[in-house]
Structure 1
Amino acid sequence: MTQTVTTNKPVTQVQSQTQTQSKGQRIGILGGTFNPPHIGHLMIADQVFEQLDLDKILFIPDANPPHVDEKGAIAVEHRMEMVRRAIINHRDFDLCLIEAQRGGISYTFDTIRQLKKLHPENQYYFIIGGDMVEYLPKWHKIDELVQMVQFVGVCRKGYEQNSTYPIIWVNMPTTEVSSTWIRQTIQTHGSVRYFVPDLVQQYIDEKGLYLDDCND
């Protein structure tokens, strides 16, 4: 059950408030550790926003990611601030603190259930990379989750556009930039200019982030 969309239009400026949307909106959700947020996150959000003609993209930093190999991300307060700075010039991108405020392990099921309770009139589109689609069967309460939210898969080279779950596929040029590479580069005093927004790099420099280790 797949659908591919291929359009290409531009985007603009921001609010970094959270859950206030008007009635009946189509809301994209980009969740993750954002450790740190980088241009790849912004490119994905922009393309999904435009190609699916959404009203808003919510960036949702997790409190504790539910990974089997537990990641030691830096404090969520730092990650929230970096996301806020990353999207500050995008009117249709918002920072949502729902997982940070809830605390604990950040299961997508709990987040969507909470959002739908707050705004039952909205339609939600959860954005994942094409490489993550094959892991959907392992997600917490996935069979219930797919009844609550529309998954959007961002195509990645080397991964098939195929799933037993209903996925809307979005095509876009891929980039190999990753938060892991950025952290490792910062630790070795390399340049990450243009890989993260200027305001994010300024914050990383001000706080001395990622200099001690390369953990997620």
Structure 2
Amino acid sequence: MGIELLTPYTKVELEPQKTGERRQIGLFVGKFAPIHLAHLVIADQVWRELNLERVLFMPEYDDENGTIISLLVRALQGHPGFGIDMARLNRARQPLIDTLKTLIANNPETDFYLIAGSDEIGRLSQLENASELAQLVQLVGVQRPKFRTGTSLPILWVDVPQMDISSKNLRDMMRHGIEPKFLIPDAVLDVIKERGLYGL
């Protein structure tokens, strides 16, 4: 599908010289409070399009009951290409680049692909260390409804179905007693209702 951006952007292709000896891992950083279908569609499309070994969801926050992790586990269950990484859990104040440097140091045989929506790409572009970050990992951009961005950073853009779903809107719905059927995986929605989370 074609996407028209309001400002120019740079699109790069995967380097053909990469060998099968190196692992290719996607990183999907976010709050996931709660995880919803748009998150899963984005991760699945990037996983398939880029032929990655895995996409790791990296939640930035959880409560003392482990709510976010438990919902992630239920949502990702049964998908061979999905996993969870705790490197940024409750460390949102730590600069992202520090997290990435640690991951790379601990996994020298791995090429990392940082997945970000077009809104997040705009924020990353404003960082003082944006160029250094782009040298550490391959930035993977996915378009989000209502957000258009341009950047001089080398971005690998992946087309995904446009789904205007946000965790904030879902929380608002549930606080008003509206069950977000078909917007959240059934297994996740079952846990939310069982525990009375988000007002349901």
What TM-score do you get using the length of structure 2 for normalisation? 0.83
Give the Cα separation in 2 of the matches to 1:178 and 1:4.
Answer: 29
How has the CA–CA distance of structure 1 residues 103 and 131 changed in structure 2, closer, same or farther, with 3 Å as cutoff? closer
Q: Find the partner of 2:70 among 75, 81, 86.
A: 81
Give the Cα separation in 1 of the matches to 2:24 and 2:75.
Answer: 22
Report if aligned partners of 1:2, 1:161 keep a CA contact under 8 Å in 2. no
How has the CA–CA distance of structure 1 residues 128 and 2 changed in structure 2, closer, same or farther, with 3 Å as cutoff? same
SS at structure 2 position matched to 1:53: coil
SS at structure 1 position matched to 2:88: helix
Aligned pairs (5 A) from 1:149-168: 149-157=137-145, 159-160=147-148, 162-168=150-156
Give the Cα separation in 1 of the matches to 2:48 and 2:138.
Answer: 16
Aligned pairs (5 A) from 1:1-216: 1-3=10-12, 24-63=22-61, 77-100=66-89, 103=91, 105-139=93-127, 141-157=129-145, 159-160=147-148, 162-211=150-199
SS at structure 1 position matched to 2:33: coil
Give 5+ residue unaligned stretches, structure 1: 6-21, 64-72
Count, aligned residues = 186
The offset of 1:107, in angstroms, is 2.9
Q: Percent identity among equivalent residues?
A: 31
Give the Cα separation in 2 of the matches to 1:4 and 1:174.
Answer: 22
Give 5+ residue unaligned stretches, structure 2: 1-9, 15-19
Give the Cα separation in 1 of the matches to 2:32 and 2:38.
Answer: 11
How has the CA–CA distance of structure 1 residues 140 and 198 changed in structure 2, closer, same or farther, with 3 Å as cutoff? farther
What is the one-letter code of the residue matched to 1:29? L
Q: Where do 4+ consecutive residues of structure 1 move more than 6 Å?
A: none
Give the Cα separation in 2 of the matches to 1:199 and 1:62.
Answer: 22
What is the one-letter code of the residue matched to 1:97? M
Report if aligned partners of 1:134, 1:163 keep a CA contact under 8 Å in 2. yes
How has the CA–CA distance of structure 1 residues 192 and 157 changed in structure 2, closer, same or farther, with 3 Å as cutoff? closer
What is the one-letter code of the residue matched to 1:162? G
How has the CA–CA distance of structure 1 residues 60 and 121 changed in structure 2, closer, same or farther, with 3 Å as cutoff? same
How has the CA–CA distance of structure 1 residues 118 and 78 changed in structure 2, closer, same or farther, with 3 Å as cutoff? same
Report if aligned partners of 1:35, 1:74 keep a CA contact under 8 Å in 2. no
What TM-score do you get using the length of structure 1 for normalisation? 0.78
